[in-house]
Every structure is written in C-alpha cells, then in structure tokens.
C-alpha cells in the first residue's frame, strides 16, 4: 500500500497597501507545472547560448523601448501593489530601461575573449553562460531589482527563472510578458508564482545552475545553504544599515536635505537607504535641527499623488515591526525628536521619525530599520565615526560628508562596505559594481563584474604547433 501527501498551496494575493483592498489572487504553480517550466528553461538555454549577441542586443533595446513607452502604466502598477509613490515609480521604470540599454551596448565588449600573453602559441579567457539561473527577488523595487539581474543574464546567454515576492505577483507576470513582447524566445525568462518552500524544489533541480537572492538575511541564509550543499553558484544582496557620516567641514544644509532624502528613499524601504546618521560633535547641534526639519517637511500621503514623497509601507507586518522597533528603542533610552507613530488613516502609513542616542545595548542599534526612521549619533572624531560606522553586522554602502582630503581617504580605505559615496547619496548605477560585505551578502551585480558572476571564465591554451618531421626513407 502506498500513501501520498498533498500540500495545500495558499493563494498568492496582491493587496493595495494604501487601502488594504485585495486587487487580485493567484494560484501557486503545482509541482508538475513547475517541473515543466524548468524543462522549458533548460531547452531555451540550449538554443539561447548560441544566439548571436547582436540579436540579443536587438531584443534588449526593444525591451528598453517598451519600458519607456509604457512607463506610466508600469509605475501605476507598482503604486497599486506595493505603495510606491508614483513619481518614484516613473523613475524606477526609466532606470530599468537604462540598464537594458547599457548591457545591449556593452555586452560585446564584456563578453569578448581576453587574450593573455603566455609561453603558449595562443592563450585567452573565454566567457561562457552558466545556464538556468534562479532569481529570488524582493518587493521594494519590483521592477529594478529584477531588471538589474535580467539584463546582464539574458545578454550573456543565460536564461532566468523569477521567484518574485508574493505581494507583487502582477509586477512579476508583467516582466515576463515584456520580455516575450521584446522578442526573447519562449523560456528565456519565466515568472514562477511559488510559495517560499517551493524554492527548494527549483534550486534542487539539476537543470538549474545558479541562484541570486536579494532580500532578507533569513532568506539569504536558507537559499545559500542549499546552494552550497548542491555546489551551485550563489549571489546574495541582503540587508543594510548604511551609515551617513557628517564631519565638521561638511556643507550642513546640503547634507541635511540629502540625508532626509537618503533615509526616506522608497518610503524608507531600501537596503541602501541611509539609516544611521553619525555626526561630529562640533556640528552636531547645527545639523540636527536642519535634519529634523527636512524629515518633517517630507509629504506623506496617497502614493498616486505626484506630490507625495512617502507612501505606505508595503505590508501590515512591516508597519507593525517598525512600530515595535521604535517603541523598543525609546523604552531602552533613545530620545524621539519627531514622529514615532503610525498614522491614523487607512493603509500602512508611518510618520517620518528621528531617534537620538539609541543605546548600544538596544537590539535596534544593530537592526535594519525598513521604513522612514533615522537614528542620530554624536561622535568626537573621525576615529570614533569610523568605529561606529563599522559597528554593525552589515556592510552594504556608506555616504560620507567631508571636504577634508585626509578624512576622505580614511573613509575610502577604512569603512567596511561595498560602496563609499563622498558628499553624495548612495545609489546603484549600471556602470558600477553593486554589492556588500559581511552579512550584507557576497558577489556583485551590475557593470561587467555583475554580468560575469554567472559566466564560466574558461581558460583556453593553444600549444605551439609541432615542427614538421622529416620523411623517413622507405625500404626497397
């Protein structure tokens, strides 16, 4: 007698975070349907890897054009599914088009064989695609997070399987539709509507070569552990608690206004948002009121309004977690300078908030705050600023504000992170590598470095031809 255990899959729901209303509901893929899609992806790779890069570039440029032409509809979709302010949504779509055009233009250069001078007749590095790559992506930038994987992966000749966050299924399906309409063959990029536990099935399939994860530390640990066991390549871009350092020589007005923008980027729901503001004591009392005022002036409201700067948090759980973190910090001795509460209205809205003097013993001191909440710290010197900036398990990026060349060099060399921006807000750029160190993850996205993460650097060596041998006389 045999028994079978069936797992009841819960529906994947798209809920408007500004109203709490259900937009659409989707049924997750069955195991049979999932296996079929993986097979289609594997078959697509066998074809795509031999497609001329010029043809892939043509499709990628078409994809950029579609994004530009349909920017308004795509921005409204992000606003509806995860509450992104409409102006920020339009900028996100434009950035997706930019990364598509970047790789369409630069792929021939990045993929070109690299000659290496050796004693051999000829030697070089040949860049080859790895195969089917699983992308586990987050909700906070529903299009950009995917396109910064999609563009280099498809231009390299890889194929993609997208497991998007469960609260943005319409965005996920739209991305697949856009790639098909741009001319990429069937199976080149597919969206998998899955529950989290089904990721194990996808990664465990021998036809899947690698995985990239952008998301929480817990998600990264789980996927990376399985990938390591299976000896499959993985890239992790996880959380961040980025420092924003302000020294006595800084332009305080510019630093304060930029700092508020950097903290509340994407309604504060960004891994590279500035979260810890570390200010030298000589300018602390001058910087704080400027910064608090800049935070209070940010407009919170309907994300469909072009004037809105901060929309709702993406989920009810995020709202509850952020509120609990602020309460924990205040109970531990932190001082609340502004905000600190959810707004009394429909939707997941939280006030722009500034905390001062969060004690080191408080868990919030080292946690990631995913919402419009900033922490202020006073330091005595550049040494103290660097020590505090590095006193975190994360290491994604840092923004340092100083006009002192010596301080600038120290920040560049001593801050433990993947990126340092001097007198500028941290941002990702298709032309530059993006990624972190420590518990912010490993590997890089974007630029040539990101494209080559999922490629085989194959060494080719051609020996010198043997000299012709003299013909032996024949016996008669």
Q: How far is CA 284 from CA 37, 170, 378, in A?
A: 56, 45, 7
Q: How far is CA 453 from CA 114, 130, 212, 440, in A?
A: 16, 9, 10, 17
Residue 379 DSSP SS3 = strand
Q: Evaluate whether 362 touches 34 at the Cβ level (below 8 Å).
A: no
Whether 362 is catalytic is no
CA distance 358 to 363: 9
> Which one of 59, 100, 171, 271 is the catalytic residue?
271
Angle at 400 between CA 394 and CA 402, to 5 degrees: 160
Decide the pairing of beta strands 189-191 and 159-163: parallel
What is the DSSP annotation of 214-257?
Answer: ES-HHHHHHHHHHHHHHT-EEEEE----EEEEE-TTS-HHHHHH
Query: Which two structure tokens, joined as six digits, stand for 130?
Result: 């790895």
Q: Evaluate whether 106 touches 193 at the Cβ level (below 8 Å).
A: no
> Which one of 92, 237, 407, 453 is the catalytic residue?
237
Whether 96 is catalytic is no
Task: Mark residue 288 as left, alpha or beta (left: phi above 0; alpha: psi -120 to 50; beta: remaining).
Answer: alpha
291 φ/ψ angles, rounded to the nearest 5 degrees: -70, -45
Quickly count: other Cβ atoms within 10 Å of residue 186's Cβ.
12
Nearest to 82 by CA among 310, 296, 314, 250: 314
Task: Mark residue 136 as left, alpha or beta (left: phi above 0; alpha: psi -120 to 50; beta: remaining).
Answer: beta
Quickly count: other Cβ atoms within 10 Å of residue 316's Cβ.
14
What are the contacts of 302-306 at 24+ separation with CB within 8 A?
302/18, 303/18, 303/79, 303/83, 303/84, 303/85, 303/86, 304/18, 304/76, 304/79, 304/86, 305/85, 305/86, 306/86, 306/87
Q: How far is CA 463 from the centre of its chain?
A: 43
Query: Tokens 């369409």 belong to which residue?
Result: 104
Residues carrying an active site annotation: 237, 271
């Amino acid at each position: 007698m045999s028994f079978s255990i069936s797992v009841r899959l819960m529906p994947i729901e798209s809920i408007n975070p500004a109203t709490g209303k259900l937009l659409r509901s989707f049924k997750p893929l069955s195991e049979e349907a999932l296996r079929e899609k993986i097979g289609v992806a594997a078959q697509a790779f066998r074809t795509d890897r031999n497609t001329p890069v010029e043809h892939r570039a043509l499709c990628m440029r078409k994809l950029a054009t579609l994004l530009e032409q349909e920017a308004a509809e795509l921005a409204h979709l992000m606003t509806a599914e995860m509450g992104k302010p409409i102006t920020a949504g339009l900028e996100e779509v434009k950035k997706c088009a930019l990364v598509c055009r970047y790789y369409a233009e630069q792929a021939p250069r990045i993929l070109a064989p690299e000659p290496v001078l050796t004693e051999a007749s000829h030697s070089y590095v040949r860049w080859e695609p790895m195969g089917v790559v699983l992308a586990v992506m987050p909700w906070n930038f529903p299009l950009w997070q995917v396109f910064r994987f999609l563009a280099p992966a498809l231009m390299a000749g890889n194929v993609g399987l997208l497991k998007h966050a469960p609260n943005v299924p319409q965005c996920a399906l739209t991305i697949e539709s856009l790639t098909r309409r741009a001319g990429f063959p069937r199976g080149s990029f597919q969206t998998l509507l899955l529950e989290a536990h089904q990721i194990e099935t996808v990664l465990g399939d021998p036809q899947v070569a690698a995985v990239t994860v952008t998301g929480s530390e817990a998600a990264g640990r789980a996927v990376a552990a399985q990938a390591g066991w299976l000896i499959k390549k993985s890239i992790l871009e996880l959380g961040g608690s980025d420092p924003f350092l302000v020294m006595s020589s800084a332009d305080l007005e510019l630093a304060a206004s930029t700092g508020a923008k950097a903290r509340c980027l994407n309604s504060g729901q960004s891994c590279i948002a500035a979260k810890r503001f570390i200010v030298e004591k000589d300018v602390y009392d001058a910087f704080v009121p400027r910064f608090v005022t800049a935070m209070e002036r940010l407009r919170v409201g309907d994300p469909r309004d072009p004037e809105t700067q901060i929309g709702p948090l993406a989920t009810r759980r995020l709202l509850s977690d952020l509120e609990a973190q602020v309460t924990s910090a205040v109970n531990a001795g932190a001082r609340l300078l502004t905000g600190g509460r959810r707004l009394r209205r429909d939707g997941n809205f939280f006030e722009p908030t500034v905390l001062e003097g969060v004690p080191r013993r408080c868990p919030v001191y080292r946690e990631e705050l995913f919402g419009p909440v900033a922490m202020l710290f006073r330091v005595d010197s550049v040494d103290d600023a660097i020590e505090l900036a590095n006193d975190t398990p994360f290491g994604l990026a840092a923004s340092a504000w100083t006009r002192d060349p010596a301080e600038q060099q120290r920040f560049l060399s001593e801050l433990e992170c993947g990126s340092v921006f001097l007198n500028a807000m941290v941002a990702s750029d298709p032309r530059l590598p993006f990624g972190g160190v420590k518990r912010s993850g490993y590997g890089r996205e974007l630029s040539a470095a990101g494209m080559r993460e999922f490629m085989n650097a194959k060494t080719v060596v051609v020996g010198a031809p043997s000299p012709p041998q003299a013909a032996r006389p024949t016996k008669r």
